[in-house]
Amino acid sequence: MKTLKLIFQSLFSNAPIMEAKNQPWYLALIIFMVSILLATYPTYTQINNREGSNFLSGNTYSIENALLLFSETLEEESVDLVVTNRDEADVTIAELDNQGTAWESVFTQTLTAHPTFPFFQYTVNNQVRLRVFYQNENSDEVTGAFANALLALPTGDDNIGSFLLLGNAEVYMYVYNPAALTANTAMGEGFTTAFRGTYDAIPTGTNLRNFVLTDVDGNTNNTNDLVLHTRVVFDNWLNFFDQSFAYYKSELLLAQTGLTFVVNAIMALLMSLVIFIMTRGKNNPNKHFKFSDTMKIGAWALLAPALLTIVAGALFPEFAGTAFVLFVGLRLMWLSSRYLRPVDMVATAPAKK
């Protein structure tokens, strides 16, 4: 009970932290690990709450209408694009398979430089608002190179515009702002958002053709209400992007959370090292501290910054990854100003009799 009280007091007082050198080493280790995990939590939450469809949360430049027409064309022409699985070398690979009417027999338009990529096209006032490509013949490397070629088109090119690329195992989408404003400016013409995903987390048997027939929950779509019909189809696509983002989301979650954990741990260890260095002066009253003592003190000083990081991450998500470093620095400054400063040893002249 006394230990818990001491931990609680260490959140807002430096005196209990200085007493940490007399506490067991394993308690300091536990506080260290708990603090680092708490400080990493805002980054984990920020990435975990990210959805694949977020890239379409802003201005879509009529993409929802384009996806509606594309989905209706799939239904009218009986073009089935079905998520399937196949096993290869003990690995299950999710793919988008063209069943029913062949894609290239319905969508015959191609770019001159890329005749093997037939596409669906949606235009507004002769401006391309969306092209949809489907490709299961070429490798992922060739498909990725094709996407890069579209991105490299110069501003003003007749072939430039938003595009959705349904590859063999991956899906790409890039949203293009067609506004006739100054190029290379924040609000000017150019690609604004991007997406990349896979079919791994999409339920096997999902058919893109059915996006006009049912909603996300499988209920029959009311095609008589155009506004509702458009919303249902667009929601189906948003759900598709959410599911296809799952694989890269897990990779991003592991990489970013792991990096934040390592950075926070290094900063915490540096804090203990700085405390040790600051107490080495001959006039410092704590010069008798051993390195292990400063490690304990540094670990005990982390809990308050970790809790403040959670609060800051909830209020300002964009600072979730850097808040802990800031609060650790502030805690070190506060601790050093009160307990780690050297004693003023200036001699005073004896008083005259």
- Is the predicted pLDDT of residue 188 greater than 70, yes or no? no
Q: Average pLDDT for residues 292-308, to the nearest whole number?
A: 91
Domain enclosing residue 98, as ranges: 52-244
178 and 234 within one domain: yes
224 and 144 within one domain: yes
Count of Cβ atoms closer than 10 Å to residue 196 Cβ: 19
64 and 181 within one domain: yes
Extract long-range pairs of 279-283: CB within 8 Å, 24+ residues apart: 279/340, 281/342, 283/342, 283/343, 283/344, 283/345
Range in 170-184, 194-208, 326-340 with the lowest mean pLDDT: 170-184
Q: What is the pLDDT of residue 151?
A: 87
Q: What is the pLDDT of residue 92?
A: 84
Q: Residue type for 240, please?
A: F
Q: Say if residues 94 and 202 touch (Cβ distance below 8 Å).
A: yes
Q: Is residue 229 part of a domain?
A: yes
Q: Residue type for 139, please?
A: S
| Bridge partners, 190 (sequence order) | 177
Q: What is the pLDDT of residue 352?
A: 54
- Is the predicted pLDDT of residue 344 greater than 60, yes or no? no
Provide the CA 58 distance to its chain's centre, in angstroms. Answer: 17
Strand 170-177 and strand 91-100: the pairing is unpaired
**pLDDT single digits (tens) 145-160:** 888 888 888 877 778 8
127: phi then psi, degrees, rounded to nearest 5: -105, 130
Q: Is residue 196 part of a domain?
A: yes
- Is the predicted pLDDT of residue 187 greater than 50, yes or no? no
- Is the predicted pLDDT of residue 349 greater than 60, yes or no? no
326 and 301 within one domain: yes
Q: Is residue 179 part of a domain?
A: yes
Count of Cβ atoms closer than 10 Å to residue 132 Cβ: 24
Q: How far is residue 160's CA from residue 7's CA, in Å, rounded to a whole number?
A: 61
135 and 35 within one domain: no
320 and 207 within one domain: no
Q: For the chain, what is the domain count?
A: 2
113 and 181 within one domain: yes
| Bridge partners, 146 (sequence order) | none
- Is the predicted pLDDT of residue 345 greater than 80, yes or no? no
Last residue of a domain, one of 244, 265, 287: 244
Q: Average pLDDT for residues 89-107, to the nearest whole number?
A: 89
Q: How far is residue 66's CA from residue 205's CA, in Å, rounded to a whole number?
A: 24
Q: Say if residues 224 and 172 touch (Cβ distance below 8 Å).
A: no
- Is the predicted pLDDT of residue 342 greater than 80, yes or no? no
Q: How many angstroms separate the first and last alpha carbons of the chain?
A: 57
More confident residue, 240 or 168: 240
- What percent of the chain is predicted at pLDDT more than 90? 44
Provide the CA 289 distance to its chain's centre, in angstroms. Answer: 43
- Is the predicted pLDDT of residue 294 greater than 80, yes or no? yes
240 and 262 within one domain: no
Q: Check residue 338 and report its DSSP letter.
A: I
Residues 237-249 as b/e (b if ≥16 CB within 10 A, e otherwise) read: bbbbbbbbbbbbb
Sign of CA dihedral 259, 260, 263, 265: negative
105 and 70 within one domain: yes
Q: What is the pLDDT of residue 287?
A: 80
Last residue of a domain, one of 195, 220, 244: 244
Structure confidence at residue 131 as a pLDDT band (50, 70, 90): very high
Q: Got the DSSP string for 200-237?
A: TTSPTT-BGGGGGTB-TTSPBP-TTSHHHHHHHHHHHH
Q: What is the pLDDT of residue 237?
A: 96
Q: What is the pLDDT of residue 338?
A: 66
170 and 38 within one domain: no
Q: What is the pLDDT of residue 336?
A: 79
Q: How far is residue 291's CA from residue 268's CA, in Å, rounded to a whole number?
A: 14
- Is the predicted pLDDT of residue 337 greater than 80, yes or no? no
Q: Is residue 310 part of a domain?
A: yes
Q: Is residue 111 part of a domain?
A: yes
Highest mean pLDDT among 81-90, 133-142, 172-181, 282-291: 81-90
Q: What is the pLDDT of residue 189?
A: 57
185 and 137 within one domain: yes
Q: Is residue 158 part of a domain?
A: yes
Q: Average pLDDT for residues 236-253, to the nearest whole number?
A: 94
Sign of CA dihedral 155, 156, 158, 160: positive
- Is the predicted pLDDT of residue 99 greater than 60, yes or no? yes
Q: What is the pLDDT of residue 138?
A: 66
- Is the predicted pLDDT of residue 76 greater than 50, yes or no? yes
Q: Say if residues 110 and 117 touch (Cβ distance below 8 Å).
A: yes
- What percent of the chain is predicted at pLDDT more than 70? 92
- Is the predicted pLDDT of residue 279 greater than 90, yes or no? no
On whether the pTM is more than 0.75, the answer is yes
Comparing C-alpha atoms, which of 127, 60, 134 is closest to residue 97? Answer: 134
Q: What is the pLDDT of residue 262?
A: 94
Q: Is residue 352 part of a domain?
A: no
Q: Is residue 2 part of a domain?
A: no
Strand runs (DSSP E) across the chain, as ranges?
A: 79-88, 91-100, 109-111, 114-124, 127-134, 163-166, 170-177, 190-198
Q: pLDDT averaged over the chain?
A: 85
More confident residue, 339 or 141: 141
- Is the predicted pLDDT of residue 249 greater than 50, yes or no? yes
Q: CA-based angle 244:250:252, to the nearest 5?
A: 105
183 and 90 within one domain: yes
